[in-house]
Amino acid sequence: MPDAPGLELIRGEIERERPGAVLATSFDRDQPALIVDSEQILDVLRWLRDTPGQRYSFLSSLHVADYLPAEPRFGIHYELLNRDRVERIRVKAMLADPVGADEPAAGQGASGQSPRTDALARPQDSAPTIPPSDANLPTIDSCVELFPTAEFQEREAFDFFGILFQGHPDLTRILLPDDYVGWPQRRDFPVGGEPVTFTYNEHNYG
């Protein structure tokens, strides 16, 4: 992976072609990262993939972090790999939470409480998940056109964090039921539910 001076060189080269695309760099725990403008995420990813001498052509991971109460709240992390050099670099785009502090978080009712009391049962006649046109969800461009491996990873990020990826070919839930309410890996998602009773042991071993 590039060292700290090498990371700054990469930043400078990107800035010459895309001024303002890279907001900062980070070299924490020997992990080089470019913090980029979310509006220019595809330009930066394409540059890292296609530029001779870079060729980070494989997206090994796309994941989200919720930094609540910090703002911008959400970090979209792209782990890129140059397989010839076995070299990694991270790209991070920060997204603000469009929902105001006085509005209930996703998955909560008007009172601020979860509309659910257990983690398994779902409303049988509820509408499908919030549609991609909803303006109250953080939004960033999909990178599936650049890295096909992002298709399922972006769906998982949508499923658990409510991040909208514009241009995704099928942005639907991937692990949770279609009628699941809310985004369970957000830090403000209500934690609750009924305790699990392990009746197998109880019935077989007393």
Residue 130 pLDDT exceeds 50: no
The kind and range of the H/E element at 90 are strand 87-95
pTM: 0.78
What is the pLDDT of the chain when averaged over all its residues?
83
Domains along the sequence of the chain with CATH: 4-95 (3.30.460.80)
Q: Which residues contact 186 (CB under 8 A, 6 or more apart)?
A: 66, 68, 105, 106, 107, 160, 161, 162
Single out the residue of 91, 35, 30, 28 nearest to residue 59, CA to CA: 91
Instruction: Check residue 28 and give its pLDDT.
Output: 79
More confident: 81 or 109: 81
Sign of the CA dihedral with 68 first, then 69, 70, and 71 last? positive
The whole-angstrom separation of Cα 134 and Cα 130 is 7
Mean pLDDT of 187-199: 72
Residue 87 pLDDT exceeds 80: yes
Task: Out of 49-53, 67-71, 130-134, 150-154, pick the least confident.
Answer: 130-134
Helices (H), 39-166: 41-50, 150-161
Mean pLDDT of 81-96: 95
Residue 79 pLDDT exceeds 90: yes
